[in-house]
Every structure is written in C-alpha cells, then in structure tokens.
Amino acid sequence: MLNEKFVQPMLTEGSLKGKVILITGGGTGLGKSMGKYFAQLGADLIIASRKLDVLENTADEIEKETGSKVLPVQCDVTNYDQVENLLKQSFEKFGKVNSLVNNAAGNFISPTERLSHRAFDIIVNIVLKGTYYSTLAFGKYWIKERQSASVLNIVTTYAWTGSAYVVPSAVAKAGVLALTRSLAVEWAKYGIRFNAIAPGLFPTKGAWERLLPGNISEKFNPVKKVPVGRTGEHQELANLAAYLVSDFSSFINGEVVTIDGGEWLKGAGQFNMLDSIPNELWDEIEKAVRNVKGS
C-alpha cells in the first residue's frame, strides 16, 4: 500500500547547504538513504565503514546524483586509532564537521545461551563502543576548536523495552540512548546537541537478512505488529533525520524520536489484543459488561 506522500522529500531545497555531515555505516541501508537526502539538500558528506569498495560506490552514486562532495573513509568504529584517522581525514578534506550520525551497527537473532562471549562482544563493540568512540573523538575536537555541532544516534525501540533474541543489540542500544541523554545535558554548554531516532521496521538488506532470515517472515509476519499496517519508507526516516541535523531543530536536545507506525506501543498496551475482536461482537460484549452488578 505505497502512498506517494510517504516518499516526498520534506525540507526545502538547500536546507543543509554549507553543512558537512559524517555518517557511520553510510555506504548501505538507512545510512545511505539518509546521506543521499542530506546531499540532495546541499550537504557534503563523509561516509565511513569497514568496506571501502561499498563506500566508494555509494560516494560515486551520490556525487553524480546530487553534485555534493562525498568522502568515503575506511574505518572500523571499534578501533579508536581508525576513528582518529577518520577525524583527521574529515577535517583535512572539509575543515569542519557539523553533524555526526552514529548509524553503524551489527545485529543478528540468536538465543542468548547460544552466543559465545566473542559474539556478544562484537555487537556491543560496534553499536555502543563504536558510538562512544566516534562521539568522544569528534566531541573533544569540537570542544577544543570551539565549534558547535550536533550528534544524531540511531537506536531502536527496544533500547527502552529490551528484547529477547537480540540481547547484545538491546544492551548496546540502551547504552547509546543513555549516552544521548547524558551528553545532551553535559555538552550543551559547548553548543553540541544530541538526539536519537528509534526506527521501527525499515526494510534493508543488512537488517532483513540477519533478523528475518529465510522464510521466517512468512511465519512471523512482522508487519502484523504495526498498527498502521506497513513498513517505513526510507524517505520518511531521511526526512526526520534531515530535520534533526538541520538548524530548524536547534531547540530539540536530548530527544529520542520514534518512527515505527505505533509498533512498540502496540506490544505494550495491556488490552491492545482486543484489536482482534470483530466489530459485530462489541454489541454482545457491551451488553455483558453493562449487566455486571456490584463488586
């Protein structure tokens, strides 16, 4: 049920002109979609992840399509030296970085008792350590150089609910959310804003192959959990991200914005399962309830 309005760009042309935005994990999936839209709005980009060939292809595609400059930098965010090299290359090329989008992540479904400690480490290292390494490196630089900036962290709705079968990711995303809210207060005095986005279901190869492998989505159709009855369009997420890195959102700090069609709340509300009661049954139910007398 694709409605054209879901894929409409939201901000006016040039809204991010003059900005330089770094996106970790910017070569694929949601990182690529956000980057493309930022570039369409006039921003120059740095995209960073482990696979340089993937980054170079994406950089090429975005540059040709938008005319903005895109610097691809190989960087494993779990390695602080590589993050410092990313910082050096970014400032050498552009002289500034206005926003950091911590989007890189790793995840897969598994019963927790099947995980080795190394499997747990790898996810927490990418998601939590990767986010605080980038934040610390860029934050120290911005503070020293007296440059204002914004950080946008991509979390998940289970950052606050927790979730079975993706426990390392849940633990790490909860840490990222705590980092967002903590530094939003501590570093506001330096002109550095922090916000987060908690996306619901947005089809990407990286997430779908690891979280809904094989025919699992036929057995457990995840869309059934979404009140609005669909997955998100990448443009919808890109619209929100562009707003949060733009100056239009200068008074928004320490916020986590959920974009999930109501999915997590549907799982939370105690009587939400009554959704499955057909309309014609409600007359009977109402009668039964009205007939209750006394305590």
Catalytic positions are 158
Q: Out of ligand NAP, ligand HXC, none, which partner does residue 108 contact, by CB within 5 to 8 A per kind?
A: ligand HXC
Residue 273 DSSP code: G
185 binds, among ligand NAP, ligand HXC, none (CB under 5 to 8 A by kind): none
Residue whose tokens read 């705590």: 178
Per-residue string for binding with ligand HXC, 113-132, x by CB under 6 A?
A: -xxx-xx--xx---------
Residues 71, 69: Cα–Cα separation, whole Å = 7
The verdict on 126 binding ligand NAP (CB under 6 A) reads: yes
In angstroms, the first-to-last Cα distance of the chain is 47
User: Does residue number 53 form part of the binding site for ligand NAP (CB under 6 A)?
Assistant: no
Q: Which amino acid is at 35?
A: G
Q: Which of 57, 19, 6, 1 is nearest to 242 (CA)?
A: 19
Of the candidates 94, 132, 187, 202, which one interacts with ligand NAP according to CB under 6 A? Answer: 202
Q: Say how many residues touch ligand HXC, by CB under 6 A.
A: 19
27 part of the interface to ligand NAP, by CB under 6 A: yes
- State the DSSP H helix or E strand holding residue 53, giving kind and residue range, or none if neither: helix 52-66
Part in contact with ligand HXC (CB under 6 A); list of ranges 40-48, 184-192, 205-213, 279-287:
205-213
What whole-number distance in Å separates Cα of residue 77 and Cα of residue 75? 6
Q: Are 89 and 71 in contact (CB under 8 A)?
A: yes
Rounded-to-integer distance, Cα 236 and Cα 218, Å: 25
Position among 169, 195, 239, 258 found at the interface with ligand HXC (CB under 6 A): 169
Residues in contact with ligand HXC by CB under 6 A are 105-108, 110, 114-116, 118-119, 122-123, 156, 169, 201, 206-207, 210-211
